Structure 1
Amino acid sequence: LDNCTVHLGKDVEALIKAAGARLIYLPPYSPDFSPIENCWSKIKTRLRAIGAKTYVDLKEAIDKAFDEVSIEDLLGWFTHCCYCTSPD
């Protein structure tokens, strides 16, 4: 698990152990090196700009925001986070 606050609760630990699994936390890391953080930032920015006021509008806005994430965005975020993106 990552170190998200909701993952640190005793209930989470108890449920995982009850399922017979072992709990292993990842070491702390900077969100600056996580491409998904960049992706969520773009999606949330688009959602705020659209400003949906109803459930139906929000669902459409979410679909539109995800559709606006391009392959170029993904490659850029991985490169920015120091992941190799070359085919070699």
Structure 2
Amino acid sequence: MRWGESLLKAAGLTVTTEDIAKLADADLNGRQITNVIRTASTMAKLDGEAVTYERLVEEIEEAIRFEREMLQAPDYLGKPELKAVA
């Protein structure tokens, strides 16, 4: 899934072709794009505002930061080691 006009319109955002091209530069997959749009929409509703291009950019930056931190997460986030009972 890509940044499509219909998907962005579903979020209540009017975007230009240039905006979509800029958003497409982000290295996100379809799931991440959908999550960014949903999060931006939810946050805008909570703030009583419309979804803006700037809010989408903020959510993209947050998604990329989160992904980077998860890739660098320490081993304790992995499976616990099994220990033999003596």
- The answer to whether TM tops 0.5 is no
- What's the TM-score, normalizing by structure 1? 0.31
Question: TM-score if structure 2 supplies the norm length?
Answer: 0.32
